[in-house]
Amino acid sequence: MMRDVRQEQDSRQVAIDKVGVRGLSYPIVLSDKAHRKQHTVARINMYVSLPHNFRGTYMGRFVEILNRYHREIDIHKLGTILREMKDRLNAESAHLEMEFPYFVEKKAPVSKAQGLMDYRCWFEATLRDRFQLRIGAAVPVTTLCPCSKEMVGTTGHNQRAEIRVVAELVGFLWLEDLIALVEDCGSSQVYSLLQREDEKYVTNHAIENPAFVEDVVRNVVLKLQGRKEISGFEVGVESYESIHHHDAYAFIRRMKDEG
């Protein structure tokens, strides 16, 4: 019988917070608000804690566990997966991170032409003494510079921006609802399909609603603060500047254990 090196005792007295597998590309099926289920591909990280006296963990068991659940992965299954990780790997804590493209049907503002928008979304779940879940989304918007409009008088330079929002949940919240909550916080929304009348509307809407990244991040915070499903959040807004050789950025963090 071969010696199992991973089970050897370690004498260095250094515990490890997270050890596991990272960057797994894996097909999954998620709950979809409009169509019940959605197939996508996730990049997955799986970790457990390792006591100071164990030399290593069993990396193959992470993939074995994932294989058992990959057709059923959604928010409701994450706690079950984490419990199995803790039990099978004799760990005090388990962590699961998933990032994936998520597709939502979205209608143009005037013509109602329907297109498919993809959003980069993620889950971050941890199980120690209790289960903690954060969901996130990167939502594209347009920003129009208030300073530029003030100088020109009629319009200003505009550019694509991205709102990256992470919400710590104490109740259930659809990804679609998180996206919808924040995507009108810029100067205008972004669409995958626009007719001429839609382009006119979007352009005028941005001109009428100039916004710095500071304005956008504050707008998002006001939306999130009123949601009972959300106990804490992080919001970052990055504007990919069209006339500057740099980008603009603003960030606010309000997690429940902080002021």
Give per-residue burial for 50-60: e unless 16+ CB within 10 Å, then b. Answer: beeebeebeee
Given a contact cutoff of 8 angstroms between Cβ atoms, the answer to whether 119 and 139 are in contact is: yes
The pLDDT value given to residue 76: 80
Spatial distance between the Cα atoms of 221 and 92, rounded to a whole number of angstroms: 34
pLDDT in tens, 50-76: 877 777 677 889 999 998 887 777 778
Question: Over 50: is that where the pLDDT of 213 sits?
Answer: yes
Strands (E), 145-258: 158-169, 188-189, 230-239, 248-254
Asked if residue 4 belongs to a domain, the reply is no
3 state SS of 4: coil
The pLDDT value given to residue 259: 40
Domain of 201, in residue numbers: 19-254
The pLDDT value given to residue 7: 65
Asked if residue 149 belongs to a domain, the reply is yes
pLDDT in tens, 128-162: 999 999 999 999 999 999 999 999 988 889 999 99
Spatial distance between the Cα atoms of 65 and 44, rounded to a whole number of angstroms: 12
The pLDDT value given to residue 73: 74
Number of domains forming the structure of the chain = 1
In the chain, % of residues over pLDDT 90: 72
Phi-psi region of 36 (alpha: psi -120 to 50; beta: other; left: phi over 0): left
pLDDT in tens, 20-47: 999 999 998 888 899 988 999 999 999 9
Domain of 212, CATH number, reads: 3.10.270.10
Angstrom distances, CA of residue 233 to CA of 35, 41, 199: 27, 25, 33
pLDDT band of 237, cuts 50, 70, 90: very high
Question: Over 70: is that where the pLDDT of 5 sits?
Answer: no
pLDDT in tens, 179-196: 999 999 999 999 999 999
pLDDT band of 6, cuts 50, 70, 90: low
* Mean pLDDT over the full length of the chain: 91
Asked if residue 12 belongs to a domain, the reply is no
The pLDDT value given to residue 1: 63
| 70-73 long-range Cβ contacts below 8 angstroms, 24+ apart | 70/26, 70/27, 70/28, 70/29, 71/28, 71/29, 72/29, 73/28, 73/29, 73/30, 73/42, 73/98
Asked if residue 124 belongs to a domain, the reply is yes
pLDDT band of 216, cuts 50, 70, 90: very high
Spatial distance between the Cα atoms of 119 and 40, rounded to a whole number of angstroms: 12
